[in-house]
């Protein structure tokens, strides 16, 4: 054995140098998160970015820069992905279980302070109160040495250390002093083993991201062969390979092929998902919730089981004084407790009594004192008689404070005495019990040396303490139970104590399960976890194993905690949640950090996650419908050797106005629908049939256009019109139930489309021309058929495939009863009046649908009549008026469903839309003799409908506009408010 191991002078300089040369130092650099180059490579050099950027640059090379707008979405995706992972890398790289405080060592007989990384194996650590132990060590000498290992083991009590005991790196010296020889350094040290495992890079599990990546993978496998098929078809259309390359028509073939390929890639879906995550994270940050990784916003909404650490999570981590239970009429015990509470070396339990028992006017002179030790669990002090004539304040004698069973043995729990019964009853409530006892015998020097009690003490008062439970814990756990989320409480403390805390926060648990008896077999462990709720004496390794066992049973697990002992479990869980008061390691590996430690923020996270999932699911149907019809178009047009009917820039119109821009707003709207597994299945079961309808409709249109002998520019313009109108309808279908914001977005997109197809600057840029009367009539009929097909698909999808996708029931705007109540304070109408109102409301709803369809049909006819008008100004008037009448007619149809529900907002919107349609019909009646009859009929029916909507029998059925049923929040999804 090296003589240095037993030398009280510590290592010599030569011995230190030898160990440093051998690498036996405490310097530690764990395998960090991924390098910057790895992150950039993973987000930039992907298959899809390669395809998109290649297409982007090819279009630039052939001079079609106008058709390369899609490249910017790929740039945005790569930037967002890199930023997201760099944020996670930054958090992991800041991980440090050991602080930068210097270590105190003895070398060559002298105490020196050095950085923790310069500590070497066999160094002699000098430990004093407040020190953090830099490396694992064996205690050599001790004088009342107490170490807090709660951040490592979860045990909240400080541990007495004796010669030969192990002192773990990362723990804190809270009392006494001693020396210890370093036994493990660097990566072998206990704390650094946690850091090494915790710093391994991993992204949070995200169903949205996984599903989208799966779609991208499927499309990626198909892009190559489909691209060759389309390119061959475009070359054949251009006259064959020889003709195409000699005449230069291969350029248009390349542009058409790129249009088909880029349309297949749902790049905007990735971007919208990232934006939804980022906005959710920003909103949570304003509520004091830090999101270390964006998809974690989604994750908590998917959680079906949450594991909670007790100390520092359910509880504040501090001991609070509960009550005093006197046993014998002995004077002076209050002053004795005040002395213990004010003592300079008072532990946390004693300090908790300071408010209840402050130091009084009497000066107490301690003549003998035996400090508290967690091994014997008691302390004793003798006082001289105080300088007071008041006998009630006399405290002479010896006062002993400690655990009842350690002072009185079995008598402390014996039902034969009042003392035993009191202690037992109080302990069964889960409260920590201490006893204050007294004896007339003073403490002698021999007693102090032997650490023994003088004489036979008599119990005077039983004291109870309890950990301070976070005030918002019970209400938040109640919310999770209501939402069907299972709860497991996992702690390193005594199972009885943990169970008592669990009962205090509202869990019905008779007792805790002692983790020391947990089985090692994962399946058996999972069985125990399925049948028990509270676990005590759990080690850090067991916490991680418990999370893994629960995940093996199909649970999506969240883990909360604040100590280093929770870090591995938090890292392993699907969603890790840390308190800001916790260790740096725990906060670094957690997905979410509660900055103010308030549990009441977790329902906010759930609500935000639900909004992200539900809205992204809605948005995904838009993008995946596009991918479906683009893929089907590419295959059909390639197989039939037809010219692709779009330029890339024309697809940018439909992508932007029917998918991209509205998707941005839809992804950020309130949505409290509960999470339902099967996101991708539900999305594809709508997107694929809807996409096939679009592809078949465009194929039909292409054959009709070829039969009419129109030019390529007219064919592309007509195809763009069809795709734009049908895209708007798909948007409206997926936005139901509509509210004022969704209607505003859809209406704005429709107006923008009219502008794009009307303003000369836009028509020139997007290569749009007048399709001609015959083609306009044909595309109108084909569009109507396609819209009807989309409606059938959505009806089947909602009824058979995804009934759970429907939003939860909302509170009626007109009150719980569907009677004629205009508000909560309105007087109920008579039965006769209510019946009349119901009949009129039904008539009005039917009229609303009828006038909506009538207006839409009239608008289309007026729009088509522009071809028969020789005057250009008159033609523009007919175009704009016809488009407007059709638009507002369709909006009336979309909103009319709210009339039967008593929605005040629906009534207002229908009124506004019909009023605008009346104005436009009047303009048509004045300016065009051909359509004055139809316009007058539409205007008259619209006015009648408006009047009926505001008649008293019908008005009483509608709620207030601000309480509309279309915007009310589901009662079941409302999180508790803990203020």
* Residues taking part in catalysis: 309
Q: For residue 203, which of 506, 502, 591 has the smallest C-alpha distance? A: 591
Q: Which residues pair with 127 in a beta bridge?
A: 178
Whole-angstrom distance, CA of residue 423 vs CA of residue 412:
7
For the beta sheet containing 366-373, the strands, ordered from the edge strand earlier in sequence to the opposite edge, are 315-326, 458-469, 432-439, 397-402, 378-383, 366-373
Whole-angstrom distance, CA of residue 759 vs CA of residue 653:
14
DSSP 58: H
CB 754 within 8 A of CB 673: no
CB 756 within 8 A of CB 655: no
- Cβ within 8 Å of residue 147, ≥6 positions away: 133, 158, 159, 161, 167, 171, 172, 173, 174
Whole-angstrom distance, CA of residue 328 vs CA of residue 325:
10
String of DSSP letters for 587-649: HHH-SEEETT--GGGHHHHHHHHHHHHHHHHHHHHHHHHHHHHHHHHHHHHHHTT---S--HH
CA dihedral of residues 616, 617, 618, 619 (deg, nearest 10):
50
- Please state whether 484 falls in left (phi above 0), alpha (psi between -120 and 50) or beta: left
Maximum distance among all Cα pairs of the chain, rounded to whole angstroms:
122
What's the gap between Cα 745 and its chain centre? 26
Whole-angstrom distance, CA of residue 563 vs CA of residue 730:
50
Q: Are strands 557-561 and 305-309 parallel, antiparallel or unpaired?
A: parallel
Whole-angstrom distance, CA of residue 188 vs CA of residue 184:
6
Q: Which residues pair with 432 in a beta bridge?
A: 465
CB 312 within 8 A of CB 566: no
For the beta sheet containing 305-309, the strands, ordered from the edge strand earlier in sequence to the opposite edge, are 289-291, 592-594, 575-579, 557-561, 305-309, 486-490, 534-536, 513-514
3-state secondary structure of 385: coil
Residue 797, Cβ density class (10 Å: 0-12 exposed, 13-18 middle, ≥19 buried): buried
CB 652 within 8 A of CB 258: no
Q: Are strands 289-291 and 557-561 parallel, antiparallel or unpaired?
A: unpaired
Residue 671, Cβ density class (10 Å: 0-12 exposed, 13-18 middle, ≥19 buried): buried
Q: For residue 539, which of 560, 564, 562 has the smallest C-alpha distance? A: 564
Whole-angstrom distance, CA of residue 513 vs CA of residue 720:
67
Q: For residue 464, which of 316, 318, 324 has the smallest C-alpha distance? A: 324
**Residue 848, φ and ψ in degrees, nearest 5:** -65, -45
């Amino acid at each position: 054995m090296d003589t240095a191991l037993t030398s009280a002078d510590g290592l010599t300089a030569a011995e230190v140098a030898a160990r440093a040369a051998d690498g036996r130092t405490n310097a530690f650099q764990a395998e960090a998160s991924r390098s910057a180059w790895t992150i950039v490579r993973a987000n930039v050099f992907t298959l899809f970015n390669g395809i998109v950027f290649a297409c982007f640059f090819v279009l630039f090379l052939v001079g079609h820069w106008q058709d390369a707008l899609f490249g910017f979405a790929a740039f945005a995706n790569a930037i967002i992905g890199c930023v997201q992972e760099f944020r996670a890398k930054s958090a992991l790289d800041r991980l440090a279980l050991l602080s930068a405080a210097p270590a105190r060592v003895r070398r060559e007989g002298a105490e020196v302070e050095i950085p923790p990384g310069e500590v070497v194996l066999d160094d002699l650590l000098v430990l004093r109160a407040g020190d953090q132990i830099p490396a694992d060590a064996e205690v050599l000498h001790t004088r009342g040495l107490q170490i807090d290992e709660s951040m490592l083991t979860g045990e909240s009590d400080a541990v007495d250390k004796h010669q030969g005991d192990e002192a773990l790196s990362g723990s804190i010296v809270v009392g006494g002093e001693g020396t210890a020889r370093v036994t493990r350094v660097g990566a072998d040290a206990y704390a650094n083993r946690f850091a090494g495992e915790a710093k391994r890079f991993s992204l949070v599990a995200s169903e949205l991201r996984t599903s989208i990546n799966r779609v991208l993978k499927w499309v990626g496998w198909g892009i190559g062969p489909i691209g060759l098929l389309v390119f061959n078809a475009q070359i054949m259309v251009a006259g064959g390979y020889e003709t195409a390359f000699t005449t230069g028509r291969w350029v248009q073939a390349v542009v058409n092929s790129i249009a088909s390929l880029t349309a297949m890639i749902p790049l905007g879906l990735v971007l919208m998902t990232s934006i939804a995550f980022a906005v959710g994270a920003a909103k949570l940050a304003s509520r004091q919730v830090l999101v270390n990784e964006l998809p974690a916003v989604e994750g908590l909404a998917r959680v079906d089981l949450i594991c909670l650490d007790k100390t520092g999570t359910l509880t504040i981590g501090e001991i609070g004084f509960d009550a005093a239970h006197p046993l014998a009429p002995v004077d002076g015990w209050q002053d004795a407790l005040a002395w213990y509470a004010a003592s300079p070396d008072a532990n946390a339990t004693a300090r908790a009594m300071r408010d209840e028992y402050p130091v009084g006017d009497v000066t107490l002179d301690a003549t003998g004192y035996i400090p508290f030790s967690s091994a014997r669990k008691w302390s004793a002090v003798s006082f001289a008689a105080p300088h007071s004539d008041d006998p009630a304040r006399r405290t002479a004698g010896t006062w002993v404070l400690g655990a009842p069973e350690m002072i009185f043995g079995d008598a402390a729990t014996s039902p034969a005495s009042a003392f035993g019964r009191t202690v037992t009853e109080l302990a069964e409530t889960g409260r920590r019990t201490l006893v204050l006892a007294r004896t007339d015998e003073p403490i002698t020097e021999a007693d102090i040396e032997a650490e023994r009690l003088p004489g036979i003490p008599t119990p005077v008062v039983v004291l109870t303490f309890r950990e301070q439970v976070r005030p918002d814990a019970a209400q938040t756990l109640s919310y999770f139970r209501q939402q069907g989320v299972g709860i497991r409480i996992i702690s390193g403390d005594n199972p009885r104590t943990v169970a008592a805390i669990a009962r205090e926060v509202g869990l019905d648990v008779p007792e805790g399960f002692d983790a020391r008896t947990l089985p090692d077999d994962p399946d058996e462990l999972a069985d125990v976890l399925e049948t028990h709720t509270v676990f005590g004496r759990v080690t850090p390794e067991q916490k991680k194993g418990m999370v893994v066992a629960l995940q093996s049973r199909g649970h999506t697990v969240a883990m909360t905690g604040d100590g280093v002992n929770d870090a591995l479990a938090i890292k392993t869980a699907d969603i890790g949640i840390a308190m800001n008061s916790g260790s740096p390691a725990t906060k670094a590996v957690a997905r979410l950090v509660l900055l103010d430690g308030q549990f009441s923020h977790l329902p906010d996270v759930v609500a935000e996650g639900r909004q992200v999932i539900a809205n992204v699911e809605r948005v995904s149907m838009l993008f995946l419908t596009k991918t479906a019809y683009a893929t089907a178009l590419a295959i059909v047009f390639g197989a039939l050797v037809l010219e692709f009917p779009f330029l890339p820039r024309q697809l940018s119109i439909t992508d932007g106005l029917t998918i991209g821009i509205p998707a941005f707003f839809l992804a950020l709207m309130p949505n409290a629908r509960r999470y339902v597994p099967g996101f991708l299945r539900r999305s594809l079961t709508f997107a694929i049939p809807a996409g096939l309808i679009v592809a078949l409709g465009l194929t039909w249109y292409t054959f009709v256009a070829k039969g009419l002998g129109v030019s390529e520019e007219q064919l592309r313009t007509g195809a763009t019109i069809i795709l734009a109108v049908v895209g708007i309808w798909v948007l409206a279908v997926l936005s139901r139930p509509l509210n004022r914001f969704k209607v505003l977005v859809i209406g704005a997109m429709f107006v923008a489309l009219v502008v794009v197809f009307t303003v000369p600057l836009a028509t020139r840029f997007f290569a749009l021309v007048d399709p001609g009367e015959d083609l306009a009539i044909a595309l109108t009929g084909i569009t109507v058929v396609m819209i009807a097909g989309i409606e059938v698909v959505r009806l089947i999808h909602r009824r058979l495939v995804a009934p759970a996708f429907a939003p939860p029931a909302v509170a009626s705007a007109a009150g719980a009863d569907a009677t004629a109540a205009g508000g909560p304070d309105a007087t109920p109408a008579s039965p006769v009046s209510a019946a009349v109102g119901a009949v009129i409301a039904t008539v009005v709803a039917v009229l609303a649908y009828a006038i909506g369809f009538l207006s839409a049909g009239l608008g289309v006819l007026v729009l088509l009549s522009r071809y028969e008008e020789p005057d250009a100004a008159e033609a523009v008037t007919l175009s704009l008026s016809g488009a407007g009448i059709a638009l507002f007619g369709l909006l009336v149809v979309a909103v009319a469903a709210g009339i039967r529900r008593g929605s005040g907002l629906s009534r207002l919107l229908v009124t506004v839309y019909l009023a605008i349609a009346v104005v436009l019909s009047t303009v048509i009646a004045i300016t065009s003799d051909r359509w004055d009859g139809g316009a007058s009929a539409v205007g008259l029916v619209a006015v009648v409908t408006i009047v009926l909507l505001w008649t008293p029998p019908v008005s009483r059925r509608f709620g207030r506009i601000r309480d509309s049923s279309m915007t009310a929040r589901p009662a079941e999804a409302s999180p508790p408010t803990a203020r």
